[in-house]
Each structure stands twice: as C-alpha cells, then as structure tokens.
Structure 1
C-alpha cells in the first residue's frame, strides 16, 4: 500500500501480557513467510532496552517510560518499513499503554488526564498502520518463560492482560484474539492474509 509517497509493508502486530506466546508465534510466522520468499523484519519488545537505560518497567512504569517505549517503538517500526515486505511487531504501541494502566492500578494511582489523553492519542494515531493486530489471551496454567527476566507476580500478569484488552476496547482498535491453543489456525490465517496482501489480491497493495 502506498501512503503519500511512502510504500508501506504489511504490518502484523501481537500484543498481550507476558509469557503468552507472542514471540513464539511471530518467530513461526517469520519462518513461514521467509519460506514464501517474503522479506521480513521483526520489531522486538522494548522492555529490556528501557530497563538497560534506567527507565522503570512493569509495576514501576511511569508516563515517561511509557511514552519512551511508544515513541521508540514507532521509530523502530517506521525504520523497518524501508527494509521489508512484512514487518512483525512484538508488542505494538497499545501494549505500553496497557502496561502503564496496569502499573497504576497495581500502585493504586490515577494517571493525569492530560498525560493519559496524550498517550492515547499517540497509540490511536499510529495503530492505523497495523494491517492485522492480535491480542493473546492469558492461560494462567502456562508458566512464565525462563528465557528472560520476568515479573513473577501472577496478579500483575492478570492486570496487564486486563488492561491491554481494555486499551484495545477503549481506543476501538480492531483485533483478533490469539489463544494459547489457537496458534496453528492463526498462523495459517495470517500467512494467507499476508500473502494475499503482498500479491495485491485484496486490492490494497500493488
């Protein structure tokens, strides 16, 4: 799809609370797309990068860390546009806002209305570029992964799940659910969707 003078790739994003299979699903999708000769770029979760530069995450998220993740995520996504047919986003911009709301709820705090409105505007405005957005659903029986430092608080994990879903609802962002037992079907559906977009059979991409 051409937006102004810019050729936009197909963008698929997956949001949701931690250890719900986002990265695994996107890795499988990337593998299948590359087998189909598509040029793929994955934009990764920014939580660890935020932590490395001294920004608070998880329970301690602030509006500043949230805005940094949103703006950096937008920058990384747009940078990838020039290098790929398909951009896969592990934690799109709505994710950061959901985690910020979860952190506030965990601490019993309220966001400043002006700050909340600004963050919501950033998320809403950029999310129009996602061709397909998934939200993982939490299965509490699946344990936290051990491949990276994780928050082991089950209550916060539930809070993040709830608030990410609420952000998508509040901002009216179209999305599909991605349950833990639905990855195979979602992979098939998404592969077909992306390849059709790349072929221009839906009329959107030439």
Structure 2
C-alpha cells in the first residue's frame, strides 16, 4: 500500500476496567478539557449495550463469539474515529473484552479453550500497540455502582472482571498506569501534558507511565 493511502493515527487514550469504576466520567472530563483547548476529539463508546441489542450475551454470560464481536467492532469503530479527530478517547479498549470473557468463564466454572484464548490474545496485542496513553481503573469496593445506565449488580462478577482485566494487561505486556477513585486529577494533568507533547511532535517518544526509558546500549569496544 502506498504511504499516501495510509491513515494518520491520532493520539489515542484508552481506559480499561470493571464496570462503575469511573472510566466514562474520567473520559468525559478529559474530553471537556481538550475541547476547551480547541483540540478535535472524539470518543469511542463502550459496546456492551450494542452487543446486547444485537442479541449477544454480555457480562457473566460472555462467550467467545460475543467477545470476538466486541473486539472486532471496537477495532472497527476506533479505526473510523482516526479519520475525524486529533485525539481519540476509548471507553474500554480491546483488552477489556478479553478480561471480561475470562471473568465470565471463571464465574461459570468453565475451562477456557486455549485456541480461543490465543486467537483473542493475538487480536488484543496486535491492536493495543496503537494505544498511546493507557489507563486501567482499580476497583474500590467502597464506591457504589452508578445509576446513570443499566448495570450488573453482581459484586462478585464485578470484582472478577477487575482481577481478570489486570491479569490480561500484565500477561500480555500492555503498558499502562492505574486510575483510582482518588487519582483522577493527577491522571487528567498527566493525560493533558502527554497529549500536548504528542500533538506538538507526533514522532516524540514519551515514557508517559513513569517508567524509566530503556538504558542506552553500551558502545561497542
């Protein structure tokens, strides 16, 4: 493919985590700040409700098929969003769906099919490399479930999803920072600073998650 036919990827911010842990609230606040700075931004929304409307099982009933649908539809929506904004905010990046699927299997005492898991892992790893700034929410059991949209009220499954999403991201080496119920302000400042730097120099490599950059190789003797 000619380079002229390639899509220029915008700055992407993806947030993962179990339900009712502040993902949508954080992204809404970040979107407001970006718009105040006259930055073109679009948000790719959570696909759980769309999956339900399509007749697919979600939450603790997730299957390989429903998980594949959410991952592939999410990738498609994200790629479309690349065409319309300088910054794309993603409410549930693709690792989230795999974490929910593994949580659903554990909840139902089902043994995962290794081939299915490998197929999903390959898609998740392949696409996650396009995420620039990645956050994973941390469940605070003291924070109640929100009431702004239909929610699963099973607290055991909510906790399992939290654990499994963390496990997926660590197992697959998807670098990220954590977003707690008390760290939104710091994360907003970090995200705005990162986005500003990336927009000013798209090729700049920035260790946004406080990890030190790799040590330079020693010169050959």
TM-score, normalised to structure 2's length? 0.89
After superposition, the C-alpha distances for 1:70-126 in whole angstroms (9 at most, x for unaligned) are: 000000000000000000000000000000000000000011111110000000000
Cα distance, 1:14 vs structure 2: 0.3
Cα shift at 1:6: 2.3
Residues 166-191 of structure 1: per-residue CA shift (max 9 Å, x gap): 00011000000001100001001100
1:45 aligns with 2:11: no
Q: How does 1:116-195 map to 2 (within 5 A)?
A: 116-195=117-196
* Higher alpha-carbon deviation: 5-14 or 89-98: 5-14
Shift of 1:160: 0.3
* 1:131 to 1:29, Cα distance in 2 relative to 1, 3 A: same
Equivalent residue number for residue 198 of structure 2: 197
Is residue 60 of structure 1 aligned with residue 44 of structure 2?
Answer: no
4+ long deviations beyond 2 Å:
2-6, 201-204
Paired with 2:38 and 2:4, the residues of 1 have a C-alpha distance of: 24
Instruction: Tell me the TM-score normalised to structure 1 length.
Output: 0.96
- Aligned-residue offset at 1:149: 1.0
Asked whether the equivalents of residues 7 and 82 of structure 2 are also in contact (C-alpha less than 8 Å), the reply is: no
Matched residue, 1:69: 70
- The 8 Å contact of residues 196 and 202 in structure 1, kept in 2 or not, is answered as no
Q: Look at both structures and tell me which one has the larger radius of gyration over its CA atoms.
A: 2
* Residue in structure 1 matched with residue 114 of structure 2 by the alignment: 113
Contact 1:97 1:164 in 2 (8 A): yes
* Inter-partner Cα distance in structure 1 for 2:86 and 2:70: 24
Q: What's the offset of the Cα at 1:148?
A: 1.1
Contact 1:20-1:180 at 8 Å conserved across structures: yes
In terms of fraction of residues, the more helix-rich structure is 1
Change (3 A) 1:55 1:201: closer
| SS class of match (1:134) | strand
Q: Which residue number in structure 2 is paired with residue 11 of structure 1?
A: 12
| C-alpha distance in structure 1 between counterparts of 2:55 and 2:6, whole Å | 37
Aligned residues: 203
CA distance in 1, matches of 2:110, 2:4: 40
